Structure 1
Amino acid sequence: MSTFATLDEHPAKKVKMDETRKVIGTHNGTFHCDEALAVFLLKRTSAYANADLTRTRDPAILDTCTVVVDVGGVYDESKQRFDHHQRGFTEVFGHGFNTKLSSAGLVYKHFGKEIIASRLRVSVDDPKVETLWLKLYREFIESIDAIDNGVNQYPADLKPLYRIRTDVSARVGYLNPAWNEPFDSATLDSRFLQASSLVGEEFLGRLDYYGNAWLPARDLVAEGLKKRTEVDPSGKIIIFEQFVPWKEHLFDLEADLSIPEDSKPLYILYRDESGGSWRVQAVPAAPESFQSRKALPEAWRGHRDDELSKITGVEGGVFVHASGFIGGNKTQKGALEMAKLALTL
């Protein structure tokens, strides 16, 4: 059993220890990514920002803890007990996710919105919080749940061609002492704090990216989708005044808005990253597909500059890729003309 101080990385002020001091409990010995993250997340909540941490498997000591994660054989939110190892445990995140939760997923399910809202300095009811809560589960938490619960990423009969052991769960695992290193409580507790900080800071970094870059891009795509009939009455063309990562957002928003297949955009126009010429990109048939909903005309493909302008009848042609998935023009006007013409061919 070991008891030690709070994680230093939380910005909350430390308070004087007294009999009302809250304690987070988890198991001692070898640690895993899920409880390392669960503890970090709890330390980002108002309830447990200043809590102590106890690592033990002693039931009597765990009973005295305010909240317990990854040990104890009980999942009961009302009692603040978040274990997932007990027989009959089947809790999942919901919202279309069916991976069995680990302690990380359990804590995130109940406290994630508060943590996100606090980081963004917005109300927990802000629509952005729900969007990011689901996004972070899909992109960060779910794999931790799956790895800890031994859920195969692929069917068992599908043999991978190579291994990936640089994921965050593996990196946390490597922080455990090796077989020929000291395995005393002090060493393990110190390494656990390193692990909790590692996975926690990665979580916050991912949250910051989604909140500050991914979500604003989604807003721009939503605005472009809303105004597409102003670009062309068909609604098949979207214009972005700057480069923005649009593919993932476009497919998500089309699904959210239940846009009929025959009303979905076919071409995206945007200024290239250098800020010079304009691009006309065909929307792919699926997010990862190399096939387009409607590729640029075959007669244009593989041609450049004046030759392309002559073939299309549109001045300022730059290029059209041999596969027809993307083309370019020197001006927005020219790119729009190319896109409108492509709709008819």
Structure 2
Amino acid sequence: MLRPESVPPPKRRRSKLMASPRIGTHNGTFHCDEALACALLRLLPEYRDAEIVRTRDPEKLASCDIVVDVGGEYDPRRHRYDHHQSEEDSMVGTLYDKCCDYRHDHHAQPTLNLLAILSLFQVDPSGEIVELAKGGCPWKEHLYHLESGLSPPVAIIFVIYTDQAGQWRVQCVPKEPHSFQSRLPLPEPWRGLRDEALDQVSGIPGCIFVHASGFIGGHRTREGALNMARATLAQRSYLPQMS
């Protein structure tokens, strides 16, 4: 069993002048709640290269940028999240409560979408494409709350997910929660086309369709759906917006 005071992150090139952020948690036997909390934090841009410091030493914890599941204090303003003052909340729940507008009556969907938002830079370097593991879960009402807490701020443009047939969809994010206007619709030349005709115009084999309004399209593969989103992002300065 690992009992080091400090577990180094995977090696990445960093400037010698830039100190890695530090995530503090307790040493000794590890538990699922702080392990998941640390993993989720490492998906955020500001903690991507973070060192995980495992200790109960107050002086060492004081040097950490954020502390979870240890330290005896709960102070979100200082990024201190020890949940032991409340028996009913886990470490992940405590951290999650402050990452977004948490609602107990919609627990599963926000949690799923939080994980999607946290991993968005792994889907595409732009950070403007989100992949949902389950397309059937509601996402629009939560996305705006979740993305507002990202640092640096990112406006998410596309969501990709699988439909009931196992095929992939690329859907444009609306400008506002109940708006029919997309932040960036799929290219006008693609709209209303299907199958081979769409393949030829888009240059992306395996396309299924693009809606006449450009707010959603379909592809047979994940990579194809990503390519549809990426191609649209690449053309954004030339694309007319939906009226």
TM-score by length of 2: 0.54
The whole-number CA distance in structure 2 between the counterparts of 1:218 and 1:254 is: 12
Of the three residues 249, 266, 272, the one matched with 2:142 is 249
Letter in 2 for 1:264: A
Which structure carries more helix by proportion?
Answer: 1
* SS of equivalent to 1:235: coil
Question: Unmatched 5+ residue regions in structure 2?
Answer: 1-85, 236-243
TM-score by length of 1: 0.39
Letter in 1 for 2:209: F
CA-atom RMSD, angstroms?
2.3
Structure 2 equivalent of residue 58 of structure 1: none
Structure 2 equivalent of residue 237 of structure 1: 129
1:318 Cα shift?
A: 0.8
The whole-number CA distance in structure 2 between the counterparts of 1:130 and 1:279 is: 30
Within a 5 Å distance, the mapping from 1:269-280 to structure 2 comes to: 269-272=160-163, 274-280=164-170
The whole-number CA distance in structure 1 between the counterparts of 2:196 and 2:111 is: 37
The whole-number CA distance in structure 1 between the counterparts of 2:177 and 2:218 is: 21
1:124 Cα shift?
A: 4.1
1:316 Cα shift?
A: 1.1
Structure 2 equivalent of residue 203 of structure 1: none
Structure 2 equivalent of residue 266 of structure 1: 157
Letter in 1 for 2:159: I
Of the three residues 209, 213, 219, the one matched with 1:319 is 209
Structure 2 equivalent of residue 219 of structure 1: 111
Query: How many percent identity over aligned positions?
Result: 43
Number of residue-to-residue matches in the alignment:
144
Structure 2 equivalent of residue 297 of structure 1: 187
* SS of equivalent to 2:201: helix
Within a 5 Å distance, the mapping from 1:1-345 to structure 2 comes to: 123-126=87-90, 127=93, 210=105, 214-243=106-135, 244-257=137-150, 260=153, 263-272=154-163, 274-345=164-235
Letter in 2 for 1:246: W
| Alignment CA distance shift 1:130-1:333 (3 Å) | closer
Question: Unmatched 5+ residue regions in structure 1?
Answer: 1-121, 137-206
Letter in 2 for 1:314: I
* SS of equivalent to 1:264: coil
1:225 Cα shift?
A: 1.2
